[in-house]
Structure 1
Amino acid sequence: MNSHKTLWLNREKAFAAFATGPLLDFWRQREECEFVGVENLTIRYVRFRDASHDKVVLLVPGRIESYVKYPELAYDLFQCGYDVIIIDHRGQGRSDRLLDDRHRGHVARFEHYVEDLETLYLKEIVPHHYRHRFALAHSMGGAILALFLAQQPRAFHAAALAAPMFGIYLPMPGWMANRLLDWAEKRPLIRDGYAPGTGKWRAHPFGLNRLTHSRERYKRSLRFYADDPAIRVGGPTWHWVREGVQAGNNIINQAASISTPLLLLQAGEDKIVDNRSHQLFCDAMSAAGHPCDGGGPYVIAGARHEILFEKDEMRADALDAILDFFQRHSL
């Protein structure tokens, strides 16, 4: 593991050479697959497998993300001996959209994400009889995975949540936001429209981004969306925000049902999710008798929301913590 960490700590210095060399060669080995999800939507995913691997990581991305953004993380996990599976959630990536305006981030019910994840789990992970099963989720993916684990706490031997969306960072008090969201829910034209202050996908310059301090990784992520208009997703709808807020509340309420060993990584400078919700979740887990690893959030000091796309030092800290955690639950 130490040899891998040394590479992680020095990757940005020659990122272009890595991306166009070893990483591109790895990406070409992918298997792109699909299945029929809730309400007959086509859900697409990618997998990397090796016959010598006896352990797997299911990657659950965040809002607007596609698996095409995750080659570097998949590469690092695969080099450490894990098969890797990455889902494109309904309404984003290469999966089917729900609205005519493909840029609107939308879902009919948050539980549909969870049901899709369960279908993928039953299709790809259960039949292969992996000796060790793990999950790693980011942001919205963390909320989806947590709700899945509340239903199936034995599905994975351990799971890591990076900046999970247990609460959304809102520009107003929660009570006011809930009142506005309930008002919009009764008006279909507003409900399915962009939430205030959002709109179609736009390429924001690095200096205005709130996601990462890594210029190299931000530029690479941006390029995926710039080069492939089909995977672009813009702002969320009013309804999506309402579903997301309710999902966060449901997670806190259902925390006692999650007995899966969990590592929760928190970005110290997060302006996307509400970090206060992480402590509420960890407190609920502790009260139920199965605390998060370390008793609370593992804080990546100085990191912005996309911990696993941060600068080398912060990313390596997070990845090392995740793989050490998985290793401890492989014994």
Structure 2
Amino acid sequence: MSEPAPFHAAVADAPEGARAFWLTASDGVRLRAVSWEGGTRGTAVIFPGRTEYAEKYGPVAGRLRARGLSVLVIDWRGQGLSDRHPSRPTLGHVEDFRDYQRDVAALMALEARLDLPGPRYLFAHSMGGCIGLRTLLERAEFCGAVFSAPMWHLQMRAATRELTSKVTQFANVMGLGARLTPGANAQPTTMAIAFEGNPLTSDRATFDWMLGQITRHPELGLGGPSMQWTYAALEEMARLYVAPLPKVPVLTLLGTEETVVSTSVIRAQLDKMEAGELVLLGEARHEIFMEVPATLETAWRHIDDFLARVPLRRGAEALLSR
């Protein structure tokens, strides 16, 4: 079994019974994963967004455990307590977005060792939605997926996107890829912005809770992305836009006040899917799972309906193939 890792339960608002593990990806990067076991209806695997970490998903784990699901969540390379850039630990950095699939492989190997129950459902937010879409195309464990504001394109003009791609590509060629992307802030996001007008959540209590987590545990905080991360992200989103789309059922939750990811691309991708469904949540911002109680209750009603409808065939086949 994997070596135990720390989990800051005091700031997580999570259900009891969390177990944290150190994992090693195929390229030697050390990762942290956290599990809540004991579910009998299946397993929810959480892919967090950029800058996020396991403690932030404590309340989500609680709702999933209350629904009879075991839960598994990962800290992606470069964030949370996983290995970070060796000389700039607050810089969000990755060489290639496909490296995240190494993290997925390590996480799913842990899931197999823990012998968590099938079927398996993917829950993915923002950057995790970009990683998760690639995962659904290349792996067969999941029988369905719930995406929250998936990062399938960023909300920017096409000309801006093209210029950003060229500038960051040139910077990488010149050996500057590990520098902060121009316009990004080196401070952790919730420290760098005020609650008023923030793009993340309309819930003040949740915003303060997130800020309190990284205030008490600064090692969890992460600043803006590197130019290499930005270029790699734009390249992966462009590849996924023209790739064949997954056939498993997909539920996507999106706030009407979304300003981070492209709502038009999300709609276009879902329209092309065999079983894609979009739920718009009024007055919600980017982080659906961190929103006001009324929005959360609406979102979880849709999730419950979705889980009740998802065919279990692919999940069952994956379980039998172990």
Alignment TM-score, normalising by the size of structure 1: 0.85
Match of 2:265 in 1: 277
SS in 2 for 1:209: coil
Matches within 5 A, 1:143-158: 143-152=130-139, 154-158=140-144
Distance 1:131 1:283 in 2: 28
Query: How many angstroms does 1:129 deviate by?
Result: 5.9
Match of 2:218 in 1: 229
Higher mean C-alpha deviation, range 299-308 or range 113-122: 113-122
Give a deviation string over 1:34-78, Cα, whole Å, max 9, x none. 21014211110110011x524110011000001111111111110
Match of 2:151 in 1: 165
Match of 2:96 in 1: 109
Say whether residues 1:73 and 2:60 are aligned partners: yes
Match of 1:141 in 2: 128
Say whether residues 1:214 and 2:203 are aligned partners: yes
Distance 2:288 2:107 in 1: 25
Higher mean C-alpha deviation, range 132-141 or range 28-37: 28-37
Tell me if the contact between 2:25 and 2:103 (Cα under 8 Å) persists in the aligned partners: yes
Say whether residues 1:30 and 2:18 are aligned partners: yes
Amino acid at match of 1:196: P
Tell me if the contact between 1:62 and 1:140 (Cα under 8 Å) persists in the aligned partners: yes
Tell me if the contact between 1:99 and 1:106 (Cα under 8 Å) persists in the aligned partners: no
Higher mean C-alpha deviation, range 201-210 or range 228-237: 201-210
Distance 1:224 1:61 in 2: 16
Distance 1:188 1:132 in 2: 45
Amino acid at match of 1:284: K
Tell me if the contact between 1:45 and 1:67 (Cα under 8 Å) persists in the aligned partners: yes
> Which segments of structure 1 move beyond 4 Å, counting only runs of 4 or more?
none
Amino acid at match of 1:319: W
Q: How many corresponding residue pairs?
A: 300
Tell me if the contact between 1:308 and 1:319 (Cα under 8 Å) persists in the aligned partners: no
Match of 2:74 in 1: 87
Tell me if the contact between 2:248 and 2:275 (Cα under 8 Å) persists in the aligned partners: no
- Whichever structure has more helix as a proportion of its residues is 1
Match of 1:63 in 2: 50
Higher mean C-alpha deviation, range 259-268 or range 158-167: 259-268
- What root-mean-square deviation, in Å, do the aligned CA atoms of Structure 1 and Structure 2 show? 2.1
Query: How many angstroms does 1:156 deviate by?
Result: 0.9
Amino acid at match of 1:323: D
Match of 1:246 in 2: 235
Match of 1:8 in 2: none
Match of 1:12 in 2: none
Tell me if the contact between 2:96 and 2:232 (Cα under 8 Å) persists in the aligned partners: yes
Amino acid at match of 1:81: G
Tell me if the contact between 1:255 and 1:281 (Cα under 8 Å) persists in the aligned partners: no
Distance 1:82 1:275 in 2: 30
Distance 1:147 1:84 in 2: 21
Amino acid at match of 2:223: G
SS in 1 for 2:196: helix
**Identity of aligned pairs, percent?**
26
Alignment TM-score, normalising by the size of structure 2: 0.87
Match of 1:309 in 2: 290
Amino acid at match of 1:218: F
SS in 1 for 2:78: coil
Tell me if the contact between 1:104 and 1:235 (Cα under 8 Å) persists in the aligned partners: yes
Consecutive unaligned residues in structure 2, runs of 5 or more: 1-8, 313-322
Amino acid at match of 2:294: E
Distance 1:138 1:301 in 2: 18
Match of 2:6 in 1: none
Distance 1:38 1:96 in 2: 13
Query: How many angstroms does 1:28 deviate by?
Result: 4.3
Higher mean C-alpha deviation, range 169-178 or range 36-45: 169-178
SS in 1 for 2:205: helix
SS in 1 for 2:244: helix
Match of 1:292 in 2: 276
Tell me if the contact between 1:161 and 1:262 (Cα under 8 Å) persists in the aligned partners: yes
Amino acid at match of 1:40: G
Query: How many angstroms does 1:207 deviate by?
Result: 1.3
Amino acid at match of 1:207: E
Distance 1:20 1:184 in 2: 41
Give a deviation string over 1:94-128, Cα, whole Å, max 9, x none. 10102411110001110111221122113214762
SS in 2 for 1:164: coil
SS in 2 for 1:110: coil
SS in 1 for 2:27: helix
